[in-house]
Homo-oligomer: A and B are copies of this chain.
Amino acid sequence: MTRKLWGGRFPKKNTASVEEFTSSISFDQRLAKYDILGSIAHAKMLGRQKIIPAQEAKLLVKGLKTLLKDAEENKIKFSPQAEDIHSEIQNLLYKRIGETAYKLHTARSRNDQVALDVKLYLKEELDEIITLITQLQKSVLQFAEDSFGIIVPGYTHLQRAQCVLLTHHLLAYIEALQRDKERIIQAKERLDTLPLGSLALAGTGLPIDREMLRKELKFKKITENSIDSVADRDFILEVLADLSIMAMHFSRIAEDLILWASQEFAFLDIDFAFCTGSSIMPHKKNPDVLELIRGSSAKVFGDFSTLWALLKGLPYAYNRDLQLDKPALFDSIDTIKQNLKIFKELFLNLSIKEAVLKEKLKDEALFSVDIMEYLIKKGIPYPQAHNIVGRMVNDCLDKGKKIADLSQEELKQYSAKLSLEIKDFLNARASVKLKTSLGATSALQVKRQIKKWRFRLKD
């Protein structure tokens, strides 16, 4: 039997169905480590403040430390009958140190305790996520540098638009990931405030020392309003929002790579080690990892949706609904971490199909802007230049001709300013080279970006 942290007033026990329905131990057990860490600090403080005898505080700390060790080594078996991780830790402590265990909960409520646990958990997890983002960025950068010089058709509306350096395209991902990282750094900073000492909602009359708790638990600040401390979950919601935005980026990057790995785009090959086959089609080699990254982005979004809807319209302060913030949070943290890790590996298992790309880059439509800008430089106003090239492209498509094959005469029919000179840049390399504006796709501009990221991502 597991002992409850309440019940004095209760003339009867909960039914088994209620116990099962309200228990959170199946998911909040993963807060064990943080619950114990918080409890160690709390016990020390209780002792120093003489709220409990110093001797008992020591006993608590000692017992908790053995629990911590076991928790870190995954040696604890949590009782499925436990109400929650907070009760369970006390029950486990009781088994080790006897009745004193229950004094740990002096001057504390599960309301401030759980807020503490989740913040400790998040500070650690977000740090890891920040590191993993940097590693993914480095992996992308590695691939981007390794493939420097490769040109691909860039797309808008999934229609071929203009030639771009593949490296340039990949660097766009790093920019997006950088914003994702910044958001998480700021979210972490914002939640770095100690809630412990807020108790149920009103604070306490016992002589606790929150500043000591803050130092012990390495928080930057102390929450300044006890009701806000226990009632709000915007710090979790913000994390889920940030992870959702990052997941959205993952889904788009995955989509790019899935397209590129198809037989139709055929820009690149994914190593067999990162593909799976079909139980029926012997020839299949599927980009499952990418599909699962794309698909699991929806889970992170769903978790945000769950938490938003859960919080909507709840009166202050704590309501039991809040218990359900954790499955959503844990699912998203796990999903994002897995995705960051596998994505990082995947970028090192791609190989470019240069021959295929070369073939595709022969599509002269990719140079239409170059011809137009040539005309503009020659003094033809933009609207006419646009029109001239539009007609030229269309005629060539209609007649199955190539612009490169047009004679000087034929060119002049479209504009007196056109000459055979344009053939000099009717190729991908020349086209890319022309794009010299700041942030554009010319090799020079792209090298600037590489340099920046090398510097910013270095350890």
Q: Per-residue CB proximity of A322-361 to B under 8 Å, as 1/0? A: 1110011000000000100110010000000000000010
A238 is an interface residue with CB less than 8 A from chain B: yes
Contacts of A210 in B (CB 8 A): 437-439
Q: Does A22 contact B (CB under 8 A)?
A: yes
Q: How far is the CA of A457 from the CA of B350 in the complex (A)?
A: 48
1/0 contact string of A276-315 vs chain B (CB within 8 Å): 1111111111111101101111110111111111111111
Check if B252 sits within 8 Å of A245, measured CB to CB.
Answer: no
Contact A439-B229, Cβ < 8 Å, known A244-B308, A365-B283, A388-B8: yes
CB distance from A102 to the nearest CB of B (A): 4
Determine the distance from Cα of A348 to Cα of B118 in the docked complex, in whole angstroms: 36
A13: Cβ under 8 A from any B Cβ: yes
A202 touches B154 (CB 8 A): yes
Closest to A390 in B: B8
**CA distance in complex: A305, B338 (Å):** 21
Chain B residue numbers with a CB within 8 Å of A391 are 8-9
Whether, in the assembled complex, A77 has its beta carbon less than 8 Å from a beta carbon of chain B, the answer is no
The reply to whether A9 and B203 form a contact with Cβ atoms under 8 Å apart is no
Q: Which of B153, B224, B262, B281 contacts A368 (CB 8 A)?
A: B281
Contacts of A182 in B (CB 8 A): 190
**Chain B residues, Cβ within 8 Å of A442:** 203
A308 to B304 Cα, complex, angstroms = 11
* Cβ contact within 8 Å between A102 and B383: yes
What does DSSP make chain A's interface, helix, strand, loop or mixed?
helix
With a cutoff of 8 Å between Cβ atoms, the chain B residues found around residue A273 in the complex are 12-15, 18
Cβ contact within 8 Å between A164 and B227: yes
A138 to B179, CA, bound (A): 32
Cβ of A377 within 8 Å of any chain B Cβ, yes or no, is yes
In the bound assembly, the distance between CA atoms of A375 and B8 in angstroms comes to: 15
Contact check, A279 vs B158: say whether CB atoms are below 8 A apart: no
Cβ contact of A306, chosen from B110, B157, B211, B301, cutoff 8 A = B301
For the complex, what is the distance from the CA of A242 to the CA of B244, rounded to whole Å? 12
- Nearest neighbor of A327 in chain B, beta-carbon distance: B299
Which of B8, B164, B203, B291 touches A282 (beta carbons < 8 Å)? B8
Q: Is the CB of B172 within 8 A of A373?
A: no
Supposing A225-B172, A298-B312, A376-B51 touch, asked if A245 and B234 sit within 8 A by C-beta, the answer is yes
**Contact B201–A164 (Cβ < 8 Å):** yes
In the bound complex, CA of A276 to CA of B245 (Å): 30
Partner of A156, one of B111, B205, B296, B383: B111
> CB distance B9 to A202 under 8 Å?
no
Q: Decide if A119 is an interface residue (CB 8 Å cutoff).
A: no
Residues from chain B with Cβ under 8 Å of A22 in the complex = 276, 288-289, 292
Q: Which of A103, A226, A320 neighbours the largest number of chain B CB atoms within 10 Å of its CB?
A: A320
Q: Are B106 and A208 in contact (CB under 8 A)?
A: no
Whether B202 lies near A274 (C-beta < 8 A) is: no
Q: Which of B186, B226, B304 contacts A441 (CB 8 A)?
A: B226
A8 touches B389 (CB 8 A): yes
Pick the residue among B162, B202, B299 that contacts A163 (CB under 8 A). B202
Closest chain-B Cβ to A302's Cβ sits at a distance in Å of 3
Chain A residues 388 to 408 lying within 8 A of chain B, measured CB to CB, are 388-394
A279 touches B86 (CB 8 A): yes
The answer to whether A295 touches B272, judged by C-beta atoms less than 8 angstroms apart, is no
Whether a CB of chain B sits under 8 angstroms from the CB of A43 is: no
Pair B302/A328 contact, Cβ less than 8 Å: yes
The one of B308, B368, B441 in contact with A248, judged by C-beta atoms closer than 8 angstroms, is B308
> Which A residues from 203 to 255 make CB contacts under 8 A with B?
203-206, 208, 210-211, 222-232, 234-235, 237-238, 241-242, 244-245, 248-249, 251-252, 254-255
